[in-house]
Structure 1
Amino acid sequence: MPNVEKKPIDFMGIRKVAAAFSIALVLGSLIILAINGLNLGLDFTGGTSVELEYSEAPALDDIRNVLADSGYENFVVQNFGAETSVLVRLSDAFDDELAAQVTEDLRTTGQELELVRSSFVGSQVGDELKEDSGLGLLLALAVVLVYVAMRFQAKFGLASVVPLAHDVIIILGIFSLFQWTFDLSVLAALLAVIGYSLNDTIVVADRIRENFRKMRVGDSEHIINESIHQTISRTLNTSGTTLVVLIALYLFGGEAINNFAIALIFGVIVGTYSSIYVAASMLLALGVSRDDLVIPPKEGLVGQEGEDEEEQPPEWLNRM
């Protein structure tokens, strides 16, 4: 049987459907954020921190159950440093008796423990963290825009930043919808998502640039389709292996990093989608063409676009 050339998947054929889907997700996320807001953790709202030292490594779930039964709300329990060191963070205002009361309540588990120290983080610190985190995200997007514009072309810079903003807004909308706690670990996950999504986008953009210079036949949509087809296996393999690790981290990493893992899981899924559809669709919408990416011929050379003239032998060799 004759070999039949396999046609690449027509990714850009459904770009309008993908664009409508992305716009709906972003608008929905913004509406949910406006209505529900974010369930900010103690890192942003402030509260009391109580550091305890146990004689033996305790079960954190037992500590959480005791605190819940004792009437405490909006608390976080996690290890810090050694397994016998436990940090309890409460939304309650600080007073001299609170730390002592928490210690006494936890002694009902029968384990020996000592109060190491207690401190209070005011809401002013939380407000500064919110402002700094927002500025940090905006700065990251601005740096990406400048880098990609210098590395590729201005249209690629814009087509790289829009998917990153798309990913961040959708993740924030998911956290607002389910009212999962948004703390510094989730903020760190958002920054990691920006880096991960950017890496995927750069891989696709690099192949698009290469094919625009190499392929002499086909319009922009055909070349972008071919480029995505050539990189899709790498993208899916990377995303798949990353998700396996993140799911294991969510299942076995403990409650302290659950929200961190959830943010990254959704970030990898949304980032993979946006690097294929949002970024490529933006390039087509901006009218990217071969003229934007071709290397201008060097002055004095007669070769084709961006190609050096065939090297000529030195004149003394011709005289021989």
Structure 2
Amino acid sequence: MRLKLVRDETSIDFLGTWRLSFGASMVMMVLSVVAFFAFGLNFGIDFRGGTSIRTEATQPVDVGQYRSAIAQLGLGDVAISEVFDPTFGPDQNVAMIRIQAQEGQESVPPAVLEEVQTALQEVDPSLRFSSVESVGPKVSGELVQSAILAVATALAAILVYIWLRFEWQFSVGAVAALVHDVVLTIGLFSVLQIRFDLAIIAAILTIVGYSINDTVVVFDRIRENLIKFKKRPLIDVFNMSLNETLSRTVMTSLTTLLALIALFALGGDVIRGFVFAMMWGVVVGTWSSIFVAAVVVKRLGVKRDWSKTDTDKPGTQFSTEG
């Protein structure tokens, strides 16, 4: 027996209340921008600057005990991860500890580093610092600029790709949906003050890829139905296309969420921020594919007969009825 999350034929009027759904998305975007300027982002070490410490010990690395020992010092954002480096041999237990820059200083002062080493040696007396490196605000500022450039470049490349594959209206709708997803993700991190680091930038780029994949599937079905049903009102063609891809959308989103929930619960603190961003991105990406991208394309109007060239007489290519 085949599992069905959505019955074979549905007739949901997705665009019948487009003003309400699209308006809700616009309000959320405005609130996200307000939250960003009001609260800012809780930048991690990657963007704020700090000190990276590489440790070696004879006993296995226990990230939980390391974190508990350092937490008592009240140093703010601390990231700890075990490093598996074959060059150190099987008997070396290596960890990477990153501590944010302290108030009024560009890095962690030597006195604080001694306190950290003392605290960790209470957990494992054999532990020693093999290297200590500091990341100043200049490097952090460059990382912020690079992160913004990476996201902007991804959006621009997607705009061109959709434009070439479909029509310019589709590219505008796709980019509008992606901007919606990115802005809402940043707004959520601003409100909840979750640590924002390079892993979250990676999550945002992954969200962009997931969302555009879902959007392209919807757009492909819309284009197919525009060719098949040239006389139907545009809103009916769009609703038909969204209903026909609904089963695929729901199944893909739910299976992705199941994997992400397992990672969120069992993956530990190192990847929790990344996974949380991905979970949120799956939800807003699915929403935007239906209630942002499709709505924008519908309001702009699209070519009804894809077999005709752009030299056809005016009024035969675009329609906004319905």
C-alpha change, 1:6 and 1:197, in structure 2 (3 Å) is: closer
Can you give the 5+ residue segments of structure 2 that lack an aligned partner in the other structure?
A: 1-7, 86-91, 310-316, 318-322
Indicate whether 1:245 and 2:241 are aligned. no
**Which of residues 90, 96, 99 is equivalent to 1:87?**
96
| Partner SS for 2:273 | helix
**Equivalence map 1:28-43=2 (5 Å):** 28-43=31-46
Q: Are the aligned partners of 2:51 and 2:99 in contact in 1 as well (CA < 8 Å)? A: yes
Q: Are the aligned partners of 1:99 and 1:118 in contact in 2 as well (CA < 8 Å)? A: no
Q: Which residue of 2 aligns with 1:46?
A: 49
**Which of residues 178, 183, 188 is equivalent to 1:174?**
188
Indicate whether 1:9 and 2:18 are aligned. no
Q: CA deviation at 1:70?
A: 2.7
d(CA) in 2 for partners of 1:219, 1:289: 13
Q: Which residue of 1 aligns with 2:145?
A: 131
Q: Are the aligned partners of 2:59 and 2:124 in contact in 1 as well (CA < 8 Å)? A: no
Q: Which residue of 2 aligns with 1:296?
A: 308
Indicate whether 1:261 and 2:275 are aligned. yes
Q: Which residue of 1 aligns with 2:312?
A: none
Indicate whether 1:200 and 2:209 are aligned. no
Q: Are the aligned partners of 1:50 and 1:99 in contact in 2 as well (CA < 8 Å)? A: no
Q: CA deviation at 1:74?
A: 2.1
Q: Which residue of 2 aligns with 1:311?
A: none
Q: Are the aligned partners of 1:168 and 1:190 in contact in 2 as well (CA < 8 Å)? A: yes
C-alpha change, 1:71 and 1:16, in structure 2 (3 Å) is: closer
**Larger deviation: 90-99 or 210-219?**
90-99
**Which of residues 27, 32, 38 is equivalent to 2:30?**
27
Q: Are the aligned partners of 1:9 and 1:225 in contact in 2 as well (CA < 8 Å)? A: yes
Q: Are the aligned partners of 1:55 and 1:111 in contact in 2 as well (CA < 8 Å)? A: no
| Partner SS for 1:87 | strand
| Partner SS for 2:94 | strand
d(CA) in 2 for partners of 1:261, 1:147: 28
Q: Which residue of 2 aligns with 1:312?
A: none
Q: Which residue of 2 aligns with 1:317?
A: none
Deviating beyond 3 angstroms after TM superposition, the runs of 4 or more aligned structure 1 residues are: 94-101
Identity score, percent: 36
d(CA) in 2 for partners of 1:290, 1:59: 62
Residue by residue over 1:127-167, the C-alpha shift from the partner in whole angstroms, topping out at 9 and shown as x without a partner, is: 00101111111111111111100000010010100000000
Q: CA deviation at 1:68?
A: 1.6
Q: Which amino acid counterpart does residue 272 of structure 1 have in structure 2?
A: T
**Larger deviation: 144-153 or 51-60?**
51-60
Q: Which residue of 2 aligns with 1:101?
A: 115
Q: Are the aligned partners of 1:32 and 1:176 in contact in 2 as well (CA < 8 Å)? A: yes
| Partner SS for 1:11 | coil
Q: CA RMSD in A?
A: 2.1
Q: CA deviation at 1:104?
A: 1.7
**Which of residues 220, 225, 234 is equivalent to 1:211?**
225
Q: Are the aligned partners of 1:141 and 1:161 in contact in 2 as well (CA < 8 Å)? A: yes
d(CA) in 2 for partners of 1:145, 1:73: 40
Q: CA deviation at 1:102?
A: 1.7
Can you give the 5+ residue segments of structure 1 that lack an aligned partner in the other structure?
A: 298-304, 306-320
Q: CA deviation at 1:98?
A: 4.0
Task: Decide which structure has the larger Cα Rg and report it.
Answer: 1
Q: CA deviation at 1:76?
A: 1.5
Q: Which amino acid counterpart does residue 253 of structure 1 have in structure 2?
A: G
C-alpha change, 1:267 and 1:7, in structure 2 (3 Å) is: closer
Q: CA deviation at 1:28?
A: 0.6
Q: Give the structure-1-normalised TM-score.
A: 0.87
Indicate whether 1:117 and 2:131 are aligned. yes
Q: Are the aligned partners of 1:94 and 1:119 in contact in 2 as well (CA < 8 Å)? A: no
| Partner SS for 2:278 | helix
- How many aligned residue pairs are there? 294
Q: CA deviation at 1:97?
A: 4.3
d(CA) in 2 for partners of 1:264, 1:7: 28
d(CA) in 2 for partners of 1:227, 1:174: 31
Q: Give the structure-2-normalised TM-score.
A: 0.87
Q: CA deviation at 1:188?
A: 0.1
C-alpha change, 1:7 and 1:112, in structure 2 (3 Å) is: closer
Q: Which amino acid counterpart does residue 230 of structure 1 have in structure 2?
A: E
d(CA) in 1 for partners of 2:220, 2:153: 24
Q: CA deviation at 1:213?
A: 0.5
Q: Which residue of 1 aligns with 2:168?
A: 154
d(CA) in 1 for partners of 2:182, 2:211: 10
d(CA) in 1 for partners of 2:232, 2:184: 34
Q: Are the aligned partners of 2:57 and 2:124 in contact in 1 as well (CA < 8 Å)? A: no
